[in-house]
Amino acid sequence: MSPFPHLFSPFKIGNLALKNRLVMAPMALNYSTEKGGLQQRQIDYYVERAKGGVGLIVSESNYISPEGRSAPNRLGLYSDDMVPQHRKLVEAIHRENTPIIAQLHHAGRNAPSGAIGQYPVGPSAVPLLTKGQVYVGTIPRALSIPEIENLIEMYGRAARRAVAAGFDGILVHSANGYLLHTFLSPRSNKRTDRYGGSEENRARFLLEVVRKVRDVIGPDMPVVVRLTGEEHQEGGYGVDFICRVARWLEEAGVDEINISSGSHEEVEWTCAPRNFPEGHNVANAARVKAGVKVPVSVVGRIKRPEMAEQIVAEGKADLIWMGRALIADPYLPKKAQEGRVEEIRECISCGTCAIRIRQGDDMQCTVNPEAGREAEMKLVPAERPRRVLVVGGGPAGLEAARAAAARGHRVTLVDRHRELGGQLLYAAAAPHSVEMERLARYLAQAAKGAGVEVLSGTEATPDLVESIQPQVVVAACGAKPVVPPIPGAGLPHVFTAHQLLSGEIDERLGRRVAVIGGGLTGVASAEYLLERGHETFIVEMLDWIMADGNVVEKRTLTQELCERGVAIFVKTKAEAVTRRGVVISRLGEREVVAADSVVMAVGVRSDRDLLARLDIGDLEVHVIGDAQSPRRIIDALLEGARVGRQI
């Protein structure tokens, strides 16, 4: 019996039977052709998630009209020519005994003008104001009533194509700042005709689309609508309005309502970062569910089966939609159902996948290098098993060791630290970063489970190499902190971020601590200090902090620091450290900012000292991860995965 009996109980959406309550949420991939056509890479991606045991798959956004696409390589369903491609996808999913429904979509004012060759359209000429996004300053053209009526017909034609392709249902996307959502929102809909003003008028376009889709597909296929449960900005609507919209949708023939949140103006709500609560949309879903008889589902940073089970068991939602969690681990459903929770590769809520999509890049996952590379990353048994030594137990080394061992090589991994994880362990020390600790634990368990011999707390010495007699060496030695050559850097009250985040200097810190360096590590250091009651400030040479972070990290973490009173100096150089504080130079002036201790977080450099000391002669050597050059987790894991498959 599954440890999650409610989550893995059968369910029906209208006449569509599901084997469990887990739904793969729609998430654009940017793997399509420039004309919106499917490619084999997409099909491989979907099939892997069907194999993983999910109860239902919702396709990525299918734009119904060329001016409604969100990026150049989005999937389309605006032409009859696309039906055979979609049929190929549907048939591949059905072979895995999994249903799939088609998402119908129009980006509205979120459509970048460069991707559609014109300024976008919307209910009113209200610009999208989002700092750091490609959409800044775009003012949409207000749609005329005949154009709205034509779009309703386009939704109907796209639904007819979905039926012809064999899809099992239709999702009408009316959330996250896209066209139908902007008609619902008083922030973006300033119309005074029958499609604006009152709540009923703002909902009219959506309801007419739903009725058109229902008329086209008939009574037997389910129609699902996705809604933003509330808008978290001044002048936006609240959940009470969406409860009324849900009842109108039920009357219009909808079979399920999905509750999401956010838009491109509040991107942190659509792609919740690590400092957001898990399941942040559940309360709104429960409110909606209380007022309708049709099933209600919820999405939004729900990634652990324990939480999903609790939501369903408590009756707060009927179905759980997972997006990023199933990118990170397509086999999450099977692992959970079989009680193998510790084997789940958990999403770390970094936002890399979603931010890449919004920037027009192809979807990639930080923790799962196989996502979108299913064919390329297939593990093939080694033709000739070899003896492999991996030096370093960070993300790159662990992934390389796992992949190589899974292919049949005899692998030994050596790391001088007792706990495996490398740089992940420092990142895990910051508040809201428990996912990093879980990732380190997963990678270590996966390597051991693949048969890797792990020698932790062990120095890689020439004698050890001689005893192992490897044929291949993978150098994943990581990186070590950079200490800038400024006066006072060697004083006893100056420490590195690694020393801070390892917890080894907690008792030696004073009340007020300066952090020199405003990258992600510097911000993590400031968070760590705040949690322990210290005062802190950040000194950064660039124009802003977190230049190495994405827009969600920058927005949410900067806001958190500022709310907690952290002074942030930018375009500022740390000239020296004294016993009284830090000498800084900004705007042509020098001053001393008082500090009892100083933390250097100015970056790391590759650590190849160990490799130079080893006598590896003419052995085949691969240098990966930070030992190659300091970068992010996504680079380390991808390099490890590829090397482990090449050996």
Residues annotated as catalytic are 178
Would you say the C-alpha torsion 44, 46, 50, 53 has a positive or negative sign? positive
Q: What's the chain's Rg over C-alpha atoms?
A: 26
Could you give the C-alpha distances from 429 to 98, 442, 476, in angstroms and in order?
40, 17, 22
d(C-alpha 641, C-alpha 635), whole Å: 10
Other Cβ atoms less than 10 A from the Cβ of 410: the count is 17
Would you say the C-alpha torsion 604, 606, 612, 613 has a positive or negative sign? positive
Tell me if 281 sits within 8 A of 323, measured CB to CB.
no
Tell me if 125 sits within 8 A of 142, measured CB to CB.
yes
In the sheet that holds 512-516, the strands lie side by side as: 494-496, 597-600, 512-516, 535-539, 567-569
The alpha carbon torsion through 519, 521, 523, 525 (nearest 10 deg) reads -150
Q: Where are the beta strands (DSSP E) in 215-295?
A: 223-228, 256-260
For residue 302, is it left (φ>0), alpha (ψ between -120 and 50) or beta?
Answer: beta
Which residues have a Cβ under 8 Å from the Cβ of 117 and sit 6 or more positions away?
A: none
SS3 readout for 469-537: CCCEEEECCCEEECCCCCCCCCCCCEEEHHHHHCCCCHHHCCCEEEEECCCHHHHHHHHHHHHCCCEEE
Beta strand 604-606 with 479-481: parallel, antiparallel or unpaired?
antiparallel
Residue 121, beta-bridge partner list: 141
